[in-house]
A and B are shown apart, each in its own frame.
Chain A
Amino acid sequence: MPKLDFGPPDFHAMLPPVIKRNYGQWRYHEILKPGLLKHVAESGEALFTVRAGTPRLLNTDSVRRIADLADKYCDGYVRFTSRHNLEFLISDESRVEPLLAELKKFNIPVGGTGNSMSSIVHTQGWIHCHTPATDASGVVKAVMDELFQHYTHMDLPAKLKVAMACCLNMCGAVHCSDIAILGVHRTPPKVDHEALARGCEVPTVVASCPTAALRPNPRLKSVDVVEERCMYCGNCFTMCPAMKIMDGEHDGISIWVGGKVGNARTAPMFSKLAIPFLPNNPPRWPEVVDAVKNIVDVWAAHAIKGERVGEWINRVGWERFFELTGLPFTDKHVDDFIFSVPSFRSSTQFKW
Chain B
Amino acid sequence: MAINKHEMPDSETPRLDELEKGPWPSFVTEMREAAGKKPAARDLMRQLEKSYGEKVGHWKHGGIVGVKGYGGGVIGRYSDSPEEFPGVREFHTLRVNQPSGWFYTSKALRQLCDVWDKHGSGLTNFHGSTGDVILLGAPTGNLQACFDDLSDIGFDLGGSGGDLRTPSACVGPARCEFANFDTLDACQKVTMAFQDELHRPQWPYKFKVKISGCPNDCVAAQARADFSLIGTWRDTLRIDQEAVKAYAAQGMDIRGEVCDHCPTRALSWDDAQKQLNLVAEDCVRCMHCINKMPRAIRPGVQKGATVLIGGKATILRSAFLSWVLVPFIKVEPPYTELLDLLRRITDWWADNAKSRERIGELIYRVGMRTFLDGVGLPAVPQMVKEPRANPYIFWRSEEVK
The residues of A with any CB-CB pair to B shorter than 8 Å are 1-11, 13-15, 19, 23-24, 26-30, 39, 47, 49, 53-68, 70-71, 76-82, 84, 89, 106-109, 121-123, 125-132, 134-135, 137-138, 141-142, 144-145, 148, 151, 168-176, 204, 208, 210, 233, 235, 237-239, 241, 246-249, 251, 259, 261-266, 268, 270, 280, 282-284, 305-306, 337-339
Contacts and interface: CB of A to CB of B under 8 A. Distances in A.
Given A262-B216, A262-B287, A59 B19 contact: no
Given A82-B131, A248-B54, A49 B175 contact: yes
A168 B77 contact: no
Interface residues of B, number: 129
A130 B76 CA distance: 10
Main secondary structure of the interface of A (DSSP, over half): loop
Contact of A4 (B70, B313, B318): B70
Interface in B169-191: 170-171, 173-177, 179, 182, 184, 188, 191
B49 to A, nearest CB: 9
Interface of B: 1-4, 15-16, 18-19, 21-31, 33-34, 41, 44, 48, 51-62, 68-70, 77, 91, 93, 97-110, 112-113, 116-117, 122-131, 136-137, 147-148, 151-152, 154-156, 168, 170-171, 173-177, 179, 182, 184, 188, 191-192, 195-196, 199, 215-224, 230, 256-257, 261-263, 285-288, 291, 294-295, 313-319, 321, 355-356
Contacts of A169: 313, 315
A84 B127 contact: yes
Contact of A76 (B107, B177, B230, B315): B107
Contacts of A77: 103-106
A33 to B, nearest CB: 16
Given A56-B126, A151-B24, A241-B61, 16 more contacts: A8-B156, A55-B25, A55-B27, A56-B125, A57-B125, A59-B122, A62-B33, A107-B4, A125-B57, A130-B60, A144-B22, A168-B314, A176-B220, A208-B356, A263-B216, A268-B217
18 contacts: A3-B151, A58-B1, A60-B122, A64-B110, A64-B113, A70-B109, A109-B25, A145-B24, A148-B22, A168-B314, A233-B315, A248-B55, A263-B287, A268-B217, A270-B319, A282-B55, A283-B19, A305-B257
B52 A135 contact: yes
B19 A57 contact: no
Given A169-B315, A270-B319, A305-B257, A82 B219 contact: yes
Contacts of B262: 265
Contacts of A262: 215-218, 287
